[in-house]
Structure 1
C-alpha cells in the first residue's frame, strides 16, 4: 500500500507536464510500413503501464477518457473486445540537476590586471545549480493482430507539484498536445 501512495502522486505529477510555462516537449514516431488505413477501432491494453497495483488508478481513468476523446475525434470507434489498435500508457518522474559552470576568469580582474588584482576566491565565480523534476508520458498504439508498436507519442517536461490538484485538466491538455501530432484518421 505504501508504494501505491508514492506511485499515484508521482504519476499524477508526471502528467502535469502541460502546466509548464513553455509546455512539454512532444515527440512522435510511427512504423513506416504499417497500413494505418486498415485501422478503424481502438481499445486499451488489459494492464496499462500506469496500473502497477493490480487495479485501475485515477490516472489511468483520466488517460482513457482523454485518449477516447482524441481517437474518436479522428474517426476511430472504441471497441473493448478485439479492436484494431490497442492503447497503452506509461508515466515516470525523474529528479534532475542542471549545473551551469562559472566562467573561467581571464587574466585577473576584468581581464587586464593580473597578480594582486586577481578576483577573490568565490567572488563572482560560482556554479548555478537548478534542481527540478522531469516527467515523461508515453502513449503507445499497438497493432493488436501483429502485437507490434505502430505509433508512439511522448511528452517530456518539467513538473510542478502544485499542479497535482488539477491532474485531470493537465492530463487532458497533455494528451491533446500529443495527439495534435498524430497524422492519421480512421480508415484513411
Structure 2
C-alpha cells in the first residue's frame, strides 16, 4: 500500500510540472515539410514595455530555432508560411477546503458543551498561468493550417522562465511533427 501511495505522489508531482499541449485545429493537408520559409506576423500597433519585448524576442528566437531545425528559413520578404503568436498570462489563486483533520483548531465553543465547526475555502497561494497559442497561416490559402496551444504554471524566477519557454516551444513543435 505504501508503494502505491508513493507512486501516486510521484506521478502527481511530475504531472504538475509538465506543460499541457493541445492542438486546436489542423488543416487536413497540412505538413510542415511542404514549406521552406516563414516569418512572424508583427503587431506594431501597440506599445510594449522593453521587458515584454525582450521576452517576446526570446520566444521568437526559440520558435526560429525549432523551425530551422525542421528545414525552414526565416524569410522576412516572401515567406511561404506565417507564424502568429498569442500570449496570455493570468494571475490565479490556489485554494483548499478546511477540514476536521487538517484544521482541528477551528472549532468554536458556543456554550454548554457545544461546539460548532464550518468548512471554509482558504487561500493557499498565488501563481501565474501562462498560455501561448501559435497559428501557422498559409498566405496563399489565406487561412490557418495549424493551431496549437501550450499552457503552464509560470515559475517566479526569470532564469526559470526561459527554461519553461524553451520546453513549452519544444513540446508544441513535437506535436506539430506528429500531425
- TM-score w.r.t. structure 1 length? 0.64
Equivalents in 2 of 1:65, 1:95: separation in Å?
Answer: 26
User: Alpha-carbon deviation of 1:184?
Assistant: 6.2
The alignment status of 1:173 with 2:167, answered yes or no, reads yes
Query: Larger strand proportion, structure 1 or 2?
Result: 2
Q: 2:138 aligns with which of 134, 138, 143?
A: 143
User: Alpha-carbon deviation of 1:75?
Assistant: 1.9
The alignment status of 1:83 with 2:84, answered yes or no, reads no
Q: 1:40 to 1:55 in 2, by over 3 A?
A: farther
User: Alpha-carbon deviation of 1:100?
Assistant: 4.2
- Give the 3-state SS of the residue equivalent to 1:183 in structure 2: helix
Verify the 8 A CA contact 2:37 2:72 in the aligned structure 1: yes
Equivalents in 2 of 1:54, 1:120: separation in Å?
Answer: 53
Verify the 8 A CA contact 2:130 2:152 in the aligned structure 1: yes
Equivalents in 1 of 2:90, 2:38: separation in Å?
Answer: 31
**Structure 1 segments unaligned to the other structure (5+ residues):** 1-19, 105-115
2:5 corresponds in structure 1 to none
**Structure 2 segments unaligned to the other structure (5+ residues):** 1-14, 101-111
User: Alpha-carbon deviation of 1:102?
Assistant: 5.1
- TM-score w.r.t. structure 2 length? 0.67
Equivalents in 1 of 2:169, 2:20: separation in Å?
Answer: 12
Point out which structure has higher relative CO (alpha carbons under 8 A, 6+ apart): 1
2:23 corresponds in structure 1 to 28
User: Alpha-carbon deviation of 1:32?
Assistant: 3.0
Verify the 8 A CA contact 1:153 1:179 in the aligned structure 2: no
1:14 corresponds in structure 2 to none
Counting matched residue pairs gives: 150
Verify the 8 A CA contact 1:62 1:172 in the aligned structure 2: no
Verify the 8 A CA contact 2:89 2:131 in the aligned structure 1: yes
**In angstroms, what is the RMSD of aligned CA positions?**
3.2
